[in-house]
C-alpha cells in the first residue's frame, strides 16, 4: 500500500443507467429498526437480532432465495417455527422482484440483513484498488435501490470477511470506502438511513482493530454498526471457557451496535448453550444478538439446521435443539444495559497485525459519484459480466496502467490467476474456523480508468 502514489479515478462506463429510482412497495406494518447509542431499537424497545443465515445452495449453486415465492413461503414457515426475527442473505439477484417474499417476511415479523455483494461484483482482496470501481458500485447501489423501500430491511453488509488475515488488513480502506459510499447513497437519494456495516472474519489478532477502524474518523466515514463471525463457543463450553467474556470486556465502551453475523461451532454436538449467554446481561450491554450459521445444510461444511431436497425440507437435530433454546431464553427486561452515548473510536495504530496508517480513504470513483445524484438504475442480477473481469468494458490501457500504478506485485488483472472465492474461503476456514461459504472474490479485471492526482494510504 505504501507504494500507491496515484488516485485512480474510473471513467464513466459506456452503459447509461437512466432508469428513475422506483420506491418499492413497503412492508409497512413492520417497524423499521433504528440505532441508538450502541444498540438497535424497534420504536422505544431494544431490539436483539435472533437470526439465521439463509443461503440455500451456498456459493456453489447460487440462487436468490427471496426471488421465488414458492421457496420463500416454504422457508418462512420454518423461520416462524424456529422463533427467529432476522435472516441474513449473502447474495440476491438485484434485477428480480422481491415484493412478495419481503411482504411474507414482514407478515412473519422477520427482518433482512443483506450483503450487497455477488461473486461477480465485489472487492477483490488481492487487488482492492482495481476492484473498487464505478461498475462495482453501480451494482451495489442498485441493490440498495431495490431493497431500501422495505421497512423490514434491517441492515446492509458492505462486505464479508474481505480482511481474513493480518496480511490482508491493507484492504480495510477499501471496505471502509464502500461502506462510506453506501451510506452516502442512501442519504443523497433520500432513502431511509438503513444501517450499513461490515461483517468481519473470525480472526482474534485484528478483530478489535477492524472494529475501531470502521468506527474512527469523520461521521460520514464511520459505520452504523459492526459485526463479526465467531466460532469460538464449542459446546460443552461456557461464557469464560469460550472467551466470550473477553470479547465483552474488549468491546466495552465501543460506540456502535455489535452482533455476531455468523455463529454456531459444530465441532461437537451443538447444544446452543451460547444462546443463553448471548441474550443475557452478561452480554447485552455490548452485543445485540447474533445470526446462527446456517439454515440449510451443505454436506461439505455440515452447519445446517435443515436439509432441502426439492420442495421437501427436513429438520436436522440442531433445528429442534435451537428451537427449544430460543423458546426458553428471553431477552433481558428493560434496555439490557446498553450504552446510550455511543460515539467514535480512535483509529488503530499501524502494527504488525494492522497494516493501515491513519484514516485516509480512496475517493469515490468519479463516475460513481453521478449515481449519488441520478440514482444507480437497474441492477445486473447474478449474470452480469462482472466488475472484476472488465468484460464488455473499454479496458484500453487499463490493465497495464493499473499494474504499473499499484506496483504492489499482487495486482493481477488475470481473472484465472486470482483467488477463487469459495476455494480461498474454504482453505481459510480450515485454519481460522470461519466456515462461511460466502462468495467474496472471483476475478480481477478492471473497468477503464484514467489517472490523476496522488494520495497515500
Say whether residue 30 binds ligand NAG (CB under 6 A): yes
C-alpha cell at 57: 445452495
Say if residues 406 and 130 touch (Cβ distance below 8 Å): yes
**Which residue stretch of 2-10, 83-91, 248-256, 265-273 sits at the interface with ligand NAG (rule: CB under 6 A)?**
248-256
99: contact with ligand NAG by CB under 6 A:
no
Q: Smallest distance, Å, CB 448 to ligand NAG? A: 24
Establish if 410 lies at the interface with ligand NAG (CB under 6 A). Answer: yes
Of 272, 113, 252, 78, whose CA–CA distance to 195 is shortest? 113
Catalytic residue among 161, 209, 221, 274: 161
Site size toward ligand NAG (CB under 6 A) is 29
Q: Which stretch binds ligand NAG (CB under 6 A): 47-55, 193-201, 247-255, 276-284?
A: 247-255
Measure Cα distances from 127 to 8, 373, 384, 454 in Å: 13, 28, 20, 18
The helix-helix angle for 172-188 and 207-214 (nearest 10°) equals 30
Closest CA to 75 of 54, 93, 59: 54
Q: Does 426 qualify as catalytic in the annotation?
A: no
Sole window of 81-89, 93-101, 185-193, 201-209 interacting with ligand NAG (rule: CB under 6 A): 201-209
- Catalytic entry in 209, 262, 294, 393: 262
Q: Is residue 432 a contact partner of residue 203, using CB atoms and an 8 Å limit?
A: yes
Residue 332 in the binding site for ligand NAG (CB under 6 A):
no
The least distance separating ligand NAG from the CB of residue 101, rounded to whole angstroms, comes to 11
Gap between the Cα atoms of 27 and 30, Å rounded: 6
Residues 53-72 that bind ligand NAG (CB under 6 A): 60, 68, 70-71
Cell of 97: 422482484
Determine if 45 is a binding residue for ligand NAG (CB under 6 A): no
Q: Which is nearer to ligand NAG, 181 or 389 (CB)?
A: 389
Window 249 to 288, contacts with ligand NAG (CB under 6 A): 250, 252-253, 255
Report the residue closest to ligand NAG, judged by CB.
Answer: 255
The least distance separating ligand NAG from the CB of residue 70, rounded to whole angstroms, comes to 4
* Cβ 245 to ligand NAG shortest distance, Å: 9
Under 8 Å between Cβ of 144 and 102: no
Name the grid cell of 3: 507504494
Where does this chain touch ligand NAG (CB under 6 A) — which range of 200-208, 312-320, 389-397, 449-457?
200-208
Question: Minimal distance in Å, beta carbon 106 to ligand NAG?
Answer: 6
Q: Return the number of the residue (9 or 123) whose C-beta is nearest ligand NAG.
A: 123
Binding residues among 303-322 for ligand NAG as defined by CB under 6 A: 311
User: Residue 396 burial (CB < 10 Å; 0-12/13-18/19+)?
Assistant: exposed
Single residue of 99, 107, 271, 426 touching ligand NAG by CB under 6 A: 107
Helix 99-107 × helix 69-82 angle, to 10°? 20
Distances (CA, A) of 342 to 129, 132, 207, 339, 422: 32, 30, 19, 6, 36
Number of Cβ within 10 Å of residue 418's Cβ equals: 24
Of the two residues 184 and 280, which places its CB atom closer to ligand NAG in the complex?
280
Does residue 274 have an active-site annotation?
no
Listed in order, strand segments (DSSP E) in 283-421 are 289-292, 306-309, 312-315
In 3D space, the residue among 304, 335, 337, 321 whose CA is nearest the CA of residue 235 turns out to be 321
To ligand NAG, the closest distance from the beta carbon of 69 in angstroms equals 8
Q: What minimum distance in Å lies between the beta carbon of 249 and ligand NAG?
A: 7
Task: CB nearer to ligand NAG: give 186 or 306.
Answer: 306
The nearest distance, CB 404 to ligand NAG, in angstroms, is 19
Task: Kindly tell me the burial class for residue 377, based on how many C-beta atoms sit within 10 Å of its own C-beta (0-12, 13-18, 19 or more).
Answer: middle
Our CB check for ligand NAG shows the closer of 253 and 397 to be: 253
The C-alpha atoms of residue 146 and residue 381 are separated, in whole angstroms, by 11
- What is the spatial distance between Cα 363 and Cα 1, in angstroms, rounded to a whole number? 15
The residues in 139-168 that bind ligand NAG, with binding defined as CB under 6 A, are 165, 167
Contacts of 444 by beta carbon, 8 Å cutoff, 6+ apart: 124, 126, 127, 130, 131, 388, 389, 411, 412, 413, 414, 415, 417, 418
Residues classed as catalytic: 161, 262
Which residue ranges make up the site for ligand NAG (CB under 6 A)?
Answer: 29-30, 60, 68, 70-71, 107, 109, 165, 167, 204, 207-208, 243, 246-247, 250, 252-253, 255, 311, 339, 341-343, 410, 416, 420, 422
Amino acid at each position: 500500500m505504501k507504494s500507491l502514489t496515484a488516485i485512480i479515478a474510473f471513467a464513466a462506463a459506456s452503459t447509461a443507467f437512466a432508469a428513475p429510482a422506483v420506491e418499492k412497495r413497503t412492508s409497512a406494518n413492520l417497524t423499521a429498526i433504528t440505532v441508538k447509542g450502541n444498540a438497535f431499537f424497534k420504536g422505544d424497545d431494544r431490539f436483539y437480532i435472533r437470526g439465521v443465515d439463509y443461503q440455500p445452495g451456498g456459493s456453489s449453486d447460487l440462487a436468490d432465495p427471496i426471488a421465488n415465492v414458492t421457496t420463500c413461503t416454504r422457508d418462512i414457515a420454518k423461520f416462524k417455527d424456529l422463533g427467529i426475527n432476522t435472516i441474513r442473505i449473502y447474495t440476491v439477484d438485484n434485477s428480480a422482484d422481491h415484493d412478495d417474499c419481503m411482504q411474507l417476511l414482514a407478515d412473519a415479523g422477520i427482518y433482512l440483513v443483506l450483503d450487497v455483494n455477488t461473486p461477480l461484483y465485489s472487492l477483490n482482496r488481492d487487488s482492492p484498488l482495481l476492484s473498487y470501481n464505478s461498475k462495482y458500485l453501480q451494482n451495489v447501489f442498485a441493490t440498495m435501490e431495490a431493497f431500501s423501500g422495505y421497512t423490514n430491511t434491517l441492515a446492509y453488509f458492505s462486505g464479508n470477511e474481505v480482511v481474513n488475515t493480518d496480511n490482508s488488513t491493507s484492504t480495510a480502506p477499501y471496505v471502509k470506502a464502500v461502506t462510506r459510499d453506501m451510506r452516502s447513497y442512501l442519504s443523497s437519494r433520500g432513502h431511509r438511513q438503513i444501517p450499513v456495516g461490515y461483517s468481519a472474519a473470525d480472526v482474534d489478532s485484528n478483530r478489535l482493530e477492524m472494529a475501531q477502524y470502521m468506527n474512527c474518523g469523520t461521521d460520514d466515514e464511520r459505520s452504523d454498526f459492526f459485526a463479526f463471525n465467531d466460532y469460538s463457543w464449542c459446546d460443552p463450553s461456557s461464557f469464560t471457557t469460550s472467551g466470550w467474556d473477553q470479547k465483552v470486556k474488549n468491546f466495552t465502551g465501543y460506540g456502535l451496535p455489535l452482533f455476531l453475523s455468523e455463529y454456531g461451532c459444530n465441532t461437537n454436538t451443538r447444544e446452543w448453550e451460547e444462546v443463553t449467554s448471548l441474550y443475557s446481561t452478561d452480554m447485552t450491554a455490548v452485543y445485540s444478538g447474533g445470526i446462527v450459521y446456517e439454515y440449510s445444510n451443505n454436506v461439505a461444511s455440515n452447519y445446517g439446521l435443515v436439509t432441502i431436497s426439492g420442495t421437501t425440507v427436513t429438520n436436522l437435530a440442531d433445528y429442534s435443539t435451537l428451537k427449544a433454546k430460543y423458546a426458553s431464553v428471553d431477552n433481558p427486561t428493560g434496555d439490557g444495559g446498553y450504552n446510550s452515548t455511543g460515539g467514535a473510536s480512535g483509529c488503530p495504530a499501524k502494527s504488525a497485525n494492522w497494516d493501515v496508517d491513519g484514516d485516509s480513504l480512496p475517493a469515490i470513483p468519479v463516475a460513481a459519484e453521478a449515481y449519488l445524484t441520478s440514482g444507480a438504475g437497474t441492477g445486473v442480477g447474478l449474470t452480469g459480466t462482472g466488475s472484476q473481469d472488465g468484460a464488455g468494458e473499454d479496458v484500453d490501457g487499463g490493465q497495464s496502467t493499473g499494474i504499473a500504478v499499484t506496483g504492489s506485485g499482487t495486482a493481477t488483472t488475470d481473472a484465472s490467476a486470482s483467488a477463487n472465492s469459495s476455494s480461498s474461503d474454504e482453505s481459510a476456514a480450515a485454519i481460522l474456523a470461519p466456515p462461511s461459504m460466502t462468495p467474496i472474490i472471483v476475478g480481477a479485471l478492471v473497468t477503464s480508468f484514467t489517472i490523476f492526482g496522488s494520495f497515500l494510504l
